[in-house]
Amino acid sequence: MKKKVKTYTISAVAELYEIHPQTLRMYEREGLLKPSRSEGNTRLYTDPDLERLEVILSLTRELGVNLAGVEIILNMREKMDAMQREFERFFEYLRTHANEFSHQVEEFSGTEALIPVSRRTLTIRHTRNSGED
């Protein structure tokens, strides 16, 4: 059974946020909002659309950001959200494989005795050879 998403018409959104419907159309033309459409081509705004609208209105009304700035900020927010999700996936991967990593580190640290050349030996050899150019 498909869950029905609650939607709002342009007139309902305009009234709710005390803005002119033309303002919403302009935000759509500028690519700031992307409402879905009904079969009759009516704009339908979802709760995520309203959350995005609230950010737009906050930036323009309270902070005086112009629409070009709003677009940049919204794009940066989307990129930051994507990075956050990527970090969360990475940390979850690390958590699920932590035991495997610690076992590999233990195996690797045991190989240090097999490496015969020390840093001091490399320095001495380099110093002796540097004068023979």
In this predicted structure, what is the pLDDT of residue 115? Answer: 59
**Domain edges within the chain:** 7-111
Q: What angle do CA 24, 60, 74 make, to 5 degrees?
A: 80
* pLDDT at residue 97 in the model: 84
The answer for residues whose C-beta is within 8 angstroms of residue 80's C-beta and 6 or more apart is none
Provide the pLDDT for residue 4.
83
pLDDT given for residue 123 in this prediction: 54
pTM over 0.95: no
> pLDDT of the chain along its 133 residues, tens only?
667 889 999 999 999 999 999 999 999 999 999 999 999 999 999 999 999 999 999 999 999 999 999 999 999 999 999 999 999 999 999 888 887 777 777 777 765 555 555 555 555 555 555 555 5
Q: Which CATH number fits domain 7-111: 3.40.50.300, 3.20.20.70, 3.40.1780.10, 1.10.1660.10?
A: 1.10.1660.10
What is the pLDDT, as a whole number, of residue 99?
76
What DSSP string runs through 18-73? T--HHHHHHHHHTTS---EE-TT--EEEEHHHHHHHHHHHIIIIIS---HHHHHHH
Q: What is the pLDDT of residue 127?
A: 54
